[in-house]
């Protein structure tokens, strides 16, 4: 169990500076247990704590773990340059909490993206040493051929890579294939398809380890908190002990 003062609780949950949180409390904009709380120095047990700020219900979370179905034309950056940042799709409090994407998707790539303010989780999920597989569906300019699949499985050479890169592949239909990667090199899927003699016209990430976009049921642009079971699945993926049912 952990106790904190109310102003520190609000600050830790992304409601702004400590002074701003105190102002919210003094103004009667914070309710705990159904009662208006006006003493910013009052202490509360944080585990499972529910509270309201400006009429919105929140649950205390020591860390935030989120899955987002990324739409096109959003950048995975806290300082986007040409398109809106993905954090604009999430509550403002997440930006104050320094929530960050686990890896990146290109601005025109869509699909499953994990985000968190837990540095250990981000490292475990994104480190190439952990070999967490990412599953993509690529739509190609020209029809998918046996030759294309063979080249991708056997390895294609990219200019800035010392050795050929390989990928698990499976044809889905005439111009779509599933590609599974563990490396996560810059623009890897697109560049591999070009090197293999085709061209990617659309790319969607459908799974990170055993977490699948279909099972999460997120519409494009929607997000959700990962529940304890989904977090255990993600942890198993990063530890190389995956075996739990997909989320």
Catalytic site residues? 106
Distance between CA atoms of residues 120 and 200, nearest Å: 33
Distance, in Å, from the CA atom of 11 to the CA atom of 97, rounded to the nearest integer, reads 9
- The answer to whether residues 179 and 173 touch, using CB atoms and an 8 Å cutoff, is no
Ramachandran class of 239: left when φ > 0, alpha when ψ lies in -120 to 50, beta otherwise = alpha
Nearest to 102, CA basis, from 79, 91, 118: 118
Cα 157 from Cα 177, distance rounded (Å): 20
Is the Cβ–Cβ distance between 181 and 167 less than 8 Å? yes
Q: Which of 68, 32, 74, 83 is nearest to 53 (CA)?
A: 32
Distances in Å between the alpha carbon of 45 and those of 52, 55, 60, 213?
15, 21, 10, 35
Tokens of 146: 């046996």
Query: How many whole angstroms separate alpha carbon 239 and alpha carbon 208?
Result: 14
């Amino acid at each position: 169990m952990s106790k904190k003062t109310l102003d520190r609780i609000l600050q830790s949950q992304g409601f702004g500076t400590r002074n701003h949180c105190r102002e919210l409390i003094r103004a009667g904009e914070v309710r705990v247990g159904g009662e208006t709380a006006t003493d910013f120095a009052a202490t509360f047990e944080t585990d499972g704590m529910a509270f309201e700020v400006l009429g919105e219900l929140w649950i205390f979370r020591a860390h935030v773990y989120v899955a987002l179905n990324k739409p096109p034309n959003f950048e995975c950056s806290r300082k986007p340059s040409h398109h809106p940042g993905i954090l604009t799709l999430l509550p403002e409090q997440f930006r104050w909490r320094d929530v960050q994407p686990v890896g990146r998707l290109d601005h025109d790539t869509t699909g499953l993206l994990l985000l968190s303010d837990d540095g250990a989780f981000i490292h475990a999920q994104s480190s190439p040493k952990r070999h967490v597989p990412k599953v993509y569906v690529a739509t190609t300019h020209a029809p998918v051929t046996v030759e294309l699949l063979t080249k991708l499985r056997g390895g294609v050479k990219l200019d800035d890579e010392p050795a050929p890169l390989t990928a698990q592949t499976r044809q889905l239909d005439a111009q779509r294939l599933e590609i599974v990667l563990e490396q996560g090199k810059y623009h890897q899927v697109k560049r591999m398809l070009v090197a293999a003699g085709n061209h990617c016209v659309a790319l969607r990430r459908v799974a990170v380890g055993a977490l699948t976009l279909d099972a999460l049921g997120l519409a494009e642009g929607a997000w959700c908190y990962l529940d304890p079971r989904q977090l255990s699945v993600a942890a198993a993926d990063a530890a190389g002990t995956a075996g739990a049912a997909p989320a």
